[in-house]
């Protein structure tokens, strides 16, 4: 079968690889009909998420059809349409039973203290081969798969594999409540769903910061108040728009690759905040891939977190769903402590939220396909990665049509 395979930093290829097989009684084999490229995939390609094993198939979002099940899989049969949850949980340990599927004690082969196991990730997460392929082995299928209702299309379902649940989780982490003012940092596809999630969880007002015009246009379609950090100082403007107080809640949907602004009112101030570690880190990463085909060094990865802390009101709360790898230490802890802030973060417990979000799609309350801006097939997957990595105009969410 064909699959997108990681060979090294900046080096991914469309390879012919063996078809997956049932390895455990709780496994299922799924024929993939839709997959997608996510910002987390870019982290592993750029090297900002270290520890990738060469030969690992990428991708953690998929919809497909069950082809084969192991003897312990009693709730699915070949032919069932399913969505694959990005994080893997056994469904029976104490963490899964409490809804913390991303901290399953069993799914990660590196042991209970290794943390989240997800498809297509680094060695610390398994590794478990990913979903940008024609077929995939799905561990703990009874928990990791969710049946797709007939009324939900594959295009709608693919955005519930990771993106919509993650954004919903971010609003929950930020403790969004009725009437709250909410700031979303990042207007990529997760940020767009964070806007929708905050509104559905009761927010009275949503502001969003980004520097890509098409993404800000999309945010305005949801009646979010937009801030272009290439032209405006986001912290100063948020304070101005909130009477000098700041917002009640922040959802950080950017992560480690948040770059320091190069132009505009925020640039000079951000330059002062970029320390030697951040500059050296970006330089070293750039030197590891001198051609720079897919690498965009994030030379100030703490910028979004700094904006979050500065823009939120005293005693406010911040939910972090942007990806930060182990070893990251750029959070402004002192400033947060002095403001009595609440900070919550983590990998989404997708299985906890996905069934209810499917119901919102069935009801017509949300149509995820409005945020799909590009389709590609597997033969053009590498080119799609390059365009997405460059944040090319109009490349908000790319879906791979596998079959």
- Counting DSSP H helices and E strands in the chain, the numbers are 14, 16
- Which of 301, 322, 345 represents a domain boundary (last residue)? 345
Higher pLDDT, 289 or 90: 90
Which of 330, 345, 360 terminates a domain? The answer is: 345
Query: Max alpha carbon distance in the chain (Å)?
Result: 61
Band of pLDDT at residue 39, cut at 50, 70 and 90: confident
Q: Is 179 left (phi over 0), alpha (psi -120 to 50) or beta?
A: left
**Torsion (CA) 6, 44, 64, 388 in degrees, nearest 10:** -100
Mean pLDDT for the stretch of residues 8-28 = 95
Sign of the Cα torsion 230, 256, 366, 80 reads positive
Tell me the average pLDDT across 354-383.
86
59-87: average pLDDT: 97
Percent of the chain with pLDDT over 70: 86
DSSP 8-state assignment for residue 264 = S
pLDDT on residue 347: 96
Residue 369 CB coordination number (10 Å): 16
- Tell me the C-alpha to C-alpha distance, in Å, between residue 8 and each of 1, 11, 54: 21, 5, 6
Do 327 and 355 fall into the same domain? no
* Alpha-carbon span 149 to 193, nearest angstrom: 21
Q: What is the CATH number of the domain that holds 171?
A: 3.40.50.720
Predicted confidence (pLDDT) at residue 327 exceeds the cutoff of 90:
no
Query: Would you state the pLDDT for residue 380?
Result: 77
* Same domain membership, residue 80 and residue 61: yes
Structure tokens at 137: 């082995």
Tell me: do 67 and 131 sit in the same domain: yes
Q: What does 154-197 look like in DSSP terms, one character per residue?
A: HHHHHTTTTHHHHHHHHHHHTT--TT-EEEEE--SHHHHHHHHH
394 confidence band (pLDDT: 50, 70, 90): low
At residue 277, the pLDDT reads 29
Residues 6+ apart with CB under 8 A from 326: 124
- Per the CB < 8 A criterion, the answer to whether 166 and 348 are in contact is yes
The pLDDT of residue 47 is above 90: no
Calculate mean pLDDT across residues 271-283.
Answer: 38
Give, as one character, the DSSP assignment of residue 204: S
Tokens of 127: 């590794």
Assess contact for 257 and 298: CB atoms under 8 A. Answer: yes
pLDDT tens digit string along 112-167? 999 999 999 999 999 999 999 999 999 999 999 999 999 999 999 999 999 999 99
pLDDT at 17: 97
Same domain, 300 and 358: no
Identify whether residues 12 and 37 lie together within a single domain: yes
The answer on 99 and 201 residing in a single domain is no
| Helical pair 163-173 and 350-363, crossing angle rounded to 10 deg | 110
Could you tell me which residues come within 8 angstroms of residue 285 by beta carbon, excluding any fewer than 6 positions away? 9, 46, 47, 48, 295, 297
For 308, the domain range is: 167-345
Domain CATH code at residue 147: 3.90.180.10
Q: How confident is the model at residue 261 (pLDDT cuts 50, 70, 90)?
A: very low
Nearest to 39 by CA among 400, 394, 393, 391: 391
* Domain count within the chain: 2
The SS3 of residue 14 is strand
**Do residues 317 and 212 both lie within one domain?**
yes
Lowest mean per-residue pLDDT among 30-44, 97-111, 175-189: 30-44
Average pLDDT over residues 158-187: 97
209 and 314 share one domain: yes
For 196-239, how does the pLDDT look when each residue is reduced to its tens digit (9 = 90+)? 999 999 999 999 999 989 899 999 999 999 999 999 999 999 99
CA 66/CA 80 separation, integer angstroms: 5
Q: Once rounded to an integer, what is the mean pLDDT over residues 320-346? A: 90
Residues 191 and 340 in one domain: yes
- Indicate the pLDDT class of residue 258, thresholds 50, 70 and 90: low
Arithmetic mean of pLDDT, 312-329: 91
State CA 310 to chain mean position distance: 24
Q: What is the CA radius of gyration of the chain?
A: 20
Please check the confidence at residue 291 and state whether its pLDDT lies above 70. Answer: no
> Do residue 138 and residue 99 come from a single domain?
yes
Structure tokens at 271: 């330059």
- The total of other beta-carbon atoms located within 10 Å of residue 329's CB is 8
For residue 76 the two structure tokens come to: 């699915």
Q: In this predicted structure, what is the pLDDT of residue 124?
A: 94
| Confidence band, pLDDT 50/70/90 cuts, at residue 183 | very high
Q: According to the model, what pLDDT value does residue 300 have?
A: 43
264-293 average pLDDT score: 40
Residue 126: name the closest of 88, 69, 90, 162 by CA. 88
Q: What is the pLDDT of residue 395?
A: 61
Residues 339 and 190 in one domain: yes
Checking if the pLDDT of 282 tops 70, the result is: no
Q: Percentage of residues in the chain with pLDDT exceeding 90?
A: 71
Per-residue pLDDT band for 403 (boundaries 50, 70, 90) equals: low
Which H/E stretch holds residue 84?
A: strand 81-84
Strand arrangement of the beta sheet that strand 225-228 belongs to: 225-228, 205-210, 181-185, 247-252, 312-320, 342-345
What does pTM read for this prediction? Answer: 0.87
Residues 148 and 193 in one domain: no
Checking DSSP bridges between strand 28-37 and strand 398-401, what pairing results, if any?
antiparallel
Read off the DSSP letter of residue 139: S
Rounded distance, CA 188 to CA 42, Å? 13
Domain end: 345, 361, 387, which one?
345
Check if the beta carbon of residue 259 is closer than 8 Å to that of residue 286.
no
pLDDT grade for 374, boundaries at 50, 70 and 90: confident
């Amino acid at each position: 079968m064909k699959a997108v395979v990681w060979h090294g930093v900046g080096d991914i290829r469309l390879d012919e690889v063996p078809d997956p097989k049932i390895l455990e009684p709780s496994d299922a084999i799924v024929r993939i009909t839709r997959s997608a490229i996510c910002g987390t995939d870019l982290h592993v390609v750029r090297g900002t998420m270290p520890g990738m094993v060469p030969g690992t198939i990428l991708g953690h979002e998929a919809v497909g059809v069950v082809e084969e099940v192991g003897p312990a899989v009693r709730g699915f049969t070949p032919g069932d349409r399913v969505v694959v949850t990005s994080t893997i949980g056994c469904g029976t340990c104490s963490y899964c039973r409490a809804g913390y599927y991303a901290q399953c004690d069993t799914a990660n082969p590196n042991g209970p203290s290794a943390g989240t196991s997800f498809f297509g990730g680094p060695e610390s997460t398994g590794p478990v081969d990913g979903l940008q392929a024609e077929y995939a082995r799905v561990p703990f299928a009874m928990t990791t798969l969710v049946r797709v209702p007939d009324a939900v299309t594959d295009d709608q379902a693919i955005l519930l594999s990771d993106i919509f649940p993650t954004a919903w989780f971010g609003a929950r982490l930020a403790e969004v409540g009725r009437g709250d003012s909410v700031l979303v940092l990042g207007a990529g596809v997760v940020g767009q769903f964070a806007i929708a999630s905050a509104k559905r969880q009761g927010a009275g007002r949503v502001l969003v910061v980004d520097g890509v015009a098409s993404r800000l246009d999309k945010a305005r379609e949801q009646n979010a108040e937009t801030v272009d950090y290439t032209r405006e100082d986001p912290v100063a403007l948020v304070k101005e728009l909130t009477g000098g107080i700041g917002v009640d809640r922040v959802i950080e949907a950017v992560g480690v690759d948040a770059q320091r602004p190069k132009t505009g009112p925020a640039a000079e101030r951000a330059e002062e905040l970029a320390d030697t570690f951040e500059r050296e880190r970006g330089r070293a990463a750039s030197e590891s891939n001198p051609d720079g085909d897919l690498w965009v060094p994030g030379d100030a990865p703490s910028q979004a977190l700094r904006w979050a802390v500065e823009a939120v009101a005293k005693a406010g709360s911040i939910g972090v769903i942007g990806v930060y790898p182990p070893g990251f230490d750029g959070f402004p802890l002192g400033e947060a402590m002095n403001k009595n802030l609440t900070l919550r973060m983590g990998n989404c417990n997708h299985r906890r939220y996905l069934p209810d979000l499917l119901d919102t799609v069935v009801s017509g309350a949300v149509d995820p396909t409005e945020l799909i801006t590009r389709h590609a097939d597997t033969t053009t997957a590498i080119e799609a990665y390059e365009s997405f990595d460059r944040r090319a105009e109009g490349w908000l969410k790319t879906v791979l049509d596998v079959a």
